[in-house]
Every structure is written in C-alpha cells, then in structure tokens.
Amino acid sequence: MFLDNDKISSKQLISLLVLDFFSTASLTLPKYAAKYGKEDAWIVVIGATVIACIYAILISRVASMFPKETFTRYTEKITNRLISVLLSGMFLIKFIIGAALELRVFGELVKQSMLHNTPIEIIMILMLLIAAYIARKGYEARGRIGGFLVFVAFIPLFIILAFATENVELSNLMPMFVGDPFEIGKGIYMLSFGFAGIELMFIATYYLDKPEKAMRATLKSVLIVGVLNLAVTIITIGTYGVESTTKYIWPLFSIMSVVKVPFLLIDRQDALMMSFWIITVFSLMSAYVFFSSLLVKEIFRFKEQNFTVLPLLPFIYFIALIPDNVVQTYDYINKINIYISPVTLVILPILLMIIAKIRKLGVGKNEKI
Amino acid sequence: MKKYRLLILCILTFDVAFLTGCWDKIEINDRSFIIGIGIDNEDGEFSITCTTPNISESKGGDSSKEAQNNYIKTSKDKTIASALHNMEANLDVNLDFGHTKVLVLGKSLIEDPNMLKDVVDYFDRNTIYSMRIKVMTTQMKAVDILQTKIEGKDSTGVYIAKIFKNHSDDILRFNTVDLGDLVFQLNASKGSALISKIMLEDKELKFGGGAVIKDYSLDGWLEEEELRSLGWLRGKAKRSEVNFKYNDITMPYCISNSQSKSNFELKDDTLYIDVEIKSEGNIPEYRLEEQSLFDDKVIKQLGEAVDKTIKEEVEKLNAKMQNEFQSDIAGYQDQLKISNRKIYLKTKDQWEEYFINAKINVNVKTSIRRIGVTE
C-alpha cells in the first residue's frame, strides 16, 4: 500500500513548506516589518527572505550530503551517538514547544475572533487531534494532503489580496529609504526566523524521492512565501499606514475586515481569511507532531513511527496552556527565535558541514548518489 | 464488518444528537441584530443607544401599522463594554453586532478627547465590529438622530446605511468615513480626522458638512460647500455640482471626473504650494431662448466662469484651514510624501507651522465636454 512507501516528491515538499512558512510568519509579519522598517518595511521583508535562503542552502546542503540516512543516523556518523541523541532531543523539544506555542496562538485567535464562548482547551484539543491523525498516517499521506491544501488555501487568498490592493494608498508607503539602517538590519534578522520551519529539512530530506532536489525545493518555497509576505506587507501598510499596522497583533486579519469584494455574498473577509489560515495551521501542527514522533522513533530506534504520535500530545497540550495570555505566548516565541533559532539554523549546519568535510563523510555536491 | 454494523449505527445516531453545535450557538430568534449605535457623553458617562429593526414586523411590509418597527434601547455606564452589558442583561435576547452598519457620535462625545479615544479603541479592539461601519457625528445628541422616525421607513439605522450604500461616491455631501478610515486617520496624524455630519431638519435626516477633529477632540465644523471644495482638492469630487454665473444666469456644472495635483517648493523657509485642479463635466441646464451654447467661444467663457467659481471656493477653504483650523485637513502632506521627498523630510517635524504659513496658489482647469442635445 502506498502509505508504507513514505517518500514524497519535491512538489509535495514545496506545498508543505509553503503552508508551514506562511502559517508561522504571515500573521504578525506586517506588524514587525512596520515596527522595524517603518515605510521601508518591504526592505525588511526582502532582506529576511534573502537571509532565509541562506539558512535553506546551509541546511539542505548538510542534509543532502547524507541522502540515504535519517537525521539521527547521519549526525551519529558525523559526531557520535551521544551528541546525535542530544541533537535529536533538542529538536524534539524545540518542535514540541514550537507546536505548543503555535497551538496557543491558534486557540487565542479563534477564540478572540470567532468562538467567544468556547473554551480554548476544546479549540486546541480538536486541532491537536486532527494534526495527530494525519501525522500517524506517515509522510506520504501528509505530502498528498499538502499538495491539495495549498490550492485550497492560497487561490482564495490571492483573490482576496487582489481586491485588497484597491484600498492601498501610495502615500502610506512613501517616502522610501528613510528607515534607520540599524533598525532595518535588526528587523531583517528577527523576521528571518519566521522561516524557522526550514530546520524541518534536516529531517525531511531523507523522505524525498529525489534528495538531490531538496535544496531547490526549499529555496523555491522560501521565495514563494517571501513574495507572498511582501505582497501582504505592502497591502497592509498601504492600507493602514505604519502607525496602525504596528498597533494590531494580527494585522493580516484586521486588514481583511476592510476588504470589499464586489458581488460576494460575504461582507467581511476576515472570517474567510481565518478559514484559510486554519488550513495552514493544520499543516504546520501536523508537521511538528509528525517530525517530533519521527525523532522519538529515531532516538529510541523503534521500528514504527505512528505509535509515538499520541504520547506526545499531552506534552504539546500542557505546554500550550503554560503562557498566561497571548502577550506572554508571543514573548516566548520571540525568545525562542532570538536564542535558539540562530543555533539550529546557522551554527549547527555549519558545524556539521565542517566536521563532515574534515572526516570526509557524505556525498559531494556533484557526485551521483 | 457486519459485526460492527450496529456499533457504527449507534455512533452515527449519537453524533446527530451531540455534534449539533458548540458553546457559541445562538438561535437566530434569540439574537437581536443591532444596526445602528449612537454614543453620547452624559456627564462623563457613555450613554449608548442601540437600534434594531423588528424583523417580524417589518417583513410584513405594512409600516403604517401601529406596531413598533424599530426598537431603541439606551444604557449608561462609565465604560462602553459595561454599558452594553447592562443593556444586554436586561433583554430577552442576545445583542448581535456582526451586522452593525452605523455609528453615530454625539457632539458632546467628540468634544471630550479621552472619550473619543475610548470609543475608537473599543471598536478597533473588538473583532465583532466590522471595520466598515460608517461613522458619523451630529451637532445634536446621537440618540435624537437614531430616534427619528422616518416616514415610510422601518428603521433609522437601516435607512442611514442604505443612503451610504446607494450614494457612496457622492463626496459632495458625504465624506464617507469607515471605522477603519477613522482609526487610520487618527493613528497616522496623531489625533486629526474629519467625520461627516448628519443633521435633523424638519423631521428629515440630512447629510452635509463634517466635524474637524484635532488632538482627538472637536475643533470646528465644515459646511457642505467646504466639504465639496475639499473633494476637489483631494481629486475625489465625482458627481458634484457647482452653480456659477454667466451673463447673470445661474447655471450648473456637473463634474463627472476630477483630478488634483500639487507641486511644492521651499524658498526661504516658506512653503509654496501650487495646486492644479482639473475637472471635466457637462452643463445640464440653461435658459430657453438665450444665446446658443453651440459655440466654442461661449463654451470657453463658460469654462472660465466655472474656473473662477471653483478657485474662489477652494481658496476660501484653504484660508479657513490655515487660519481657523491651523490643520492640514485636505492632506497636502500626503501628496508631498509622494511628489517631493526632499521637502517632506525637511518639513515633516514642523509640518503644521510650514502649512499655516504656506503660500497656496490654486489653478483650475475646467473642460466642459457635453451640453445636452439642444443648442
């Protein structure tokens, strides 16, 4: 049966990554871009995308040096068993915390804007269960679902964004090139961690049917989301101006409630936008849950991955309930981005690459696999 | 499979009973759709008026009946949320603000900067309110506007919302301000905005003019003609008319399209603004048996007469902005941002001062395209 095959094509990988990146970054992105870049927010977004491309190159380069081995295996080869288990453990914890915080943001946003009386626990449990369900089915099922969901989520989004351009006032985006270079640099650095999902490529490359295409696929997805982010930022700031954009927690939703789509039965687009965003959250949650369970399997050398999914859920759920409120949740997310993401995105791949080169491990760039 | 058939049947049956909805389910007959909200300041407290159409009555179409077509509730408290809560707690239905169309702010409210800030923040912060709610103000109390009974119409809120829907591009009378616009204007300019005015004249609701907000409180009122000049300055004066005099006959000129462009120059620390207003339109009315309009010379003279009238009106508004309000209501700075980055950066910090002392020159170019089908 194809479910046991567990290999995905690079097209499916792109769909999955696009959904994941968009889910984490796009919600708050215009806010931070405007905060650091002011009218030059677009420079911040472009810069962040370029930096994210570097992360993508580093990580997929390391992973594609060992196309036939899983993350735990090849780190064990490069270093030793203890360090490889520690690294896998670190990623496991990061994914679980990442999933938990993302789940909390999801719960807060849904409760705030749609289900005012529904307990946040129920909203979160439902999302967690459906993510776990698809994570249990293996990578191929996720790949197929990703290839399908990407159209469901993004085609309507493009249509709404196209109508949103009507409200853009050029004067809100002018004058250009007046931002403080230091602040812009800081913004680029901070926003590039919106693409922290790239670290999934450490593990995912093994599951590609053609691992040599990993780098290309990752770069493509980063660029697609980069362009999308740029459009979202320009439209949001163009409509609301820098001051208002920085005031909203989730500017993308606030902007959607002013968009008017002619001939559409629905008067307010924010609810519509919310449903597409939930699709991307689902994709991201299932990715985190799936890769966490995979790491558990690798660390303990289990034969199967699917039975390690359910035991992880309580951890994610309870960590999601730790922050007192949405402010603290974002505080935690930012702290992880500042202190841990640089390690996993830059330092780790460089170290692994150097050690592998010194010990002459892995396949070279142009060698046939 | 056969073994489980009964079990599956049981599960499906239970689903029907248990998966019907969630915590947020409210039946439609338990909802009361608030169409219009009015807020007044009563001795430092928010007095909130909500109007809701009586759906079961109004769908019958017989508005002459004695039955009440329009419910109005008023509640008062120190904060908006608690005032609304007080109102809801004493009703047999749940208030639903998802379809709110109109927000009327009383004069007493916009005179108090803190209260205006509270109101704008409340509606911006809570997602149940659409950002496209039309905001307006009045020189009276908001409650009086919403309580007006309009002959032949069911609900005042719906009536106002429909006016906006059908005449949204009529900038002549309506400086349409959405809630989103208002928040944006106040944020971007740190407290300045223009809100359109609604008034009650002979038991009829009328739009015209607007309230100038500066530092989050009322600074003065603009008249209907001044709002029209503002439309010309912003290049958004579609569907406006201007009456001008030609050979002692008053004639109308209907603008179908208008554009405005400003050039800026900074000489000896004085700002020179050159405004060019271009418009095209038609002459729909003249006097029988007078001289023929089918003459290029006459058309040109008519154009010049229109130019003069528009120029006078715009100059009057400019003078009022500079001297009376001392505030850039027309948004010259936004145009400056786009057209001249150097001057913008230089004047940005003391824009108000530069604007007040600026020399503004207005050029008007009118193109009369059509004169109807008679000479």
pLDDT confidence of residue B19: 67
Secondary element (H or E) of residue B259: strand B249-267
- The answer to whether the beta carbons of residues B324 and B223 sit under 8 Å apart is no
Check whether B227 has a pLDDT greater than 70: yes
Closest Cβ–Cβ partner in A243, A258, A270 for B178: A258
pLDDT > 90 fraction of chain B, expressed in percent and rounded = 8
Check whether B67 has a pLDDT greater than 60: no
Shortest Cα–Cα distance, B81 to chain A (Å): 15
pLDDT in tens, B255-276: 888 888 888 888 888 889 898 9
Query: Bridge-partner residues for B218, per DSSP?
Result: B213
Check whether B57 has a pLDDT greater than 70: no
pLDDT confidence of residue B118: 92
Taking an 8 Å cut-off on Cβ atoms, the answer to whether A172 and B335 are in contact is no
ipTM entry? 0.83
Of the given ranges (A265-279, B16-30, B113-127, B197-211), which has the lowest mean pLDDT?
Answer: B16-30
- Tell me which residues of chain A have a pLDDT lower than 70: 1-5, 364-369
Q: What is the DSSP letter of B38?
A: E
Q: Is A303 exposed, middle or buried (0-12, 13-18, 19+ CB in 10 A)?
A: exposed
pLDDT confidence of residue A5: 62
Mean pLDDT of chain B: 83
pLDDT confidence of residue A319: 93
Check whether B40 has a pLDDT greater than 60: yes
* Amino acid, single-letter form, for residue B14: F
Structure tokens at B292: 């023929």
Taking an 8 Å cut-off on Cβ atoms, the answer to whether B127 and A169 are in contact is no
Q: Which residue has the higher pLDDT, B3 or B185?
A: B185
pLDDT confidence of residue A288: 92
Residues of A within 8 A of B188 (CB-CB) are: 172, 241-244
Taking an 8 Å cut-off on Cβ atoms, the answer to whether B180 and A257 are in contact is yes
How confident is the model over B341-353, as a mean pLDDT?
85
Of the given ranges (A266-280, A310-324, B65-79, B144-158), which has the lowest mean pLDDT?
Answer: B65-79
Q: What is the SS3 assignment for B64?
A: coil
Q: What is the SS3 assignment for A58?
A: helix
- The answer to whether the beta carbons of residues A352 and A75 sit under 8 Å apart is yes
Taking an 8 Å cut-off on Cβ atoms, the answer to whether B338 and A114 are in contact is no
CA A74 – CA A77 distance, rounded (Å): 5
A122: contact with B, CB 8 A cutoff: yes
pLDDT in tens, A290-308: 999 989 988 888 888 888 8
Q: Which residue has the higher pLDDT, B68 or B260?
A: B260
Annotate B73-140 with DSSP letters as a single string. Answer: EEEEESSHHHHHHHHHHTSSSEEE-TT--EEEE-HHHHTSHHHHHHHHHHHHH-TTS-TT-EEEE-SS
- Cα torsion for B284, B285, B286, B289, to the nearest 10°? 100
Q: What is the CATH number of domain B226-370?
A: 3.30.300.210
pLDDT confidence of residue B174: 58
Closest Cβ–Cβ partner in A114, A175, A240 for B337: A175
Tell me the CB-side half-sphere exposure of residue B255, using CA atoms within 13 A.
30
Please report the beta strands in A224-344, taking only residues with DSSP state E, as ranges in sequence order. Answer: none
In degrees and rounded to multiples of 5, residue B44 shows phi and psi of 80, 0
B81: contact with A, CB 8 A cutoff: no
A262: contact with B, CB 8 A cutoff: no
CA B196 – CA A61 distance, rounded (Å): 60
How confident is the model over B9-36, as a mean pLDDT?
78
A264: contact with B, CB 8 A cutoff: no
Shortest Cα–Cα distance, A240 to chain B (Å): 6
Q: Where are the domains of chain B?
A: 28-222, 226-370
Residue found under tokens 């008023």: B74
Please report the beta strands in B307-358, taking only residues with DSSP state E, as ranges in sequence order. Answer: none
B351: contact with A, CB 8 A cutoff: no
Taking an 8 Å cut-off on Cβ atoms, the answer to whether A117 and B23 are in contact is yes
Residues of A within 8 A of B341 (CB-CB) are: 174-176
Taking an 8 Å cut-off on Cβ atoms, the answer to whether B335 and A119 are in contact is no
Write out residues 114-153 of B within 8 Å (CB-CB) of A.
Answer: 127, 130-132
* B contact test, residue of A108, A111, A174, A266 with most B CBs within 10 A: A174
Report how far apart, in Å, the C-alpha atoms of B192 and of each of B137, B171, B185, B195, B329 are: 15, 19, 7, 10, 8
Taking an 8 Å cut-off on Cβ atoms, the answer to whether B22 and A175 are in contact is no
Residues of B within 8 A of A243 (CB-CB) are: 187-188
Check whether B318 has a pLDDT greater than 80: yes
Structure tokens at B128: 């149940």
Q: Which residue has the higher pLDDT, B246 or A366?
A: B246
